[in-house]
Amino acid sequence: MNEQTRRECIKALAYGRSRDEVCAVMDVPMEALNDITEKEIIQQRNYLKKMGYMP
């Protein structure tokens, strides 16, 4: 998985999508998503809230 795909997966997870759904839509293996930490997801969620993209 390249860096752009990784960032998009983190963003999708931050928006609350399930890992199964992200795998299917982004066409990435579950093993690749398992490398994404909860800390990365929380940081992205906080950023999206700060920027006004999430309530």
Rounded to the nearest integer, the mean pLDDT of the chain is 96
pTM across the whole model: 0.93
pLDDT, tens only, 18-32: 999 999 999 999 999
Low-confidence ranges of the chain (pLDDT < 70): none
How do the domains of the chain map onto residue ranges?
A: 3-50
HSE (side-chain half, CA atoms, 13 Å) at 32? 17
Name the phi and psi angles at 17, rounded to 5: -70, 150
pLDDT score, position 7: 97
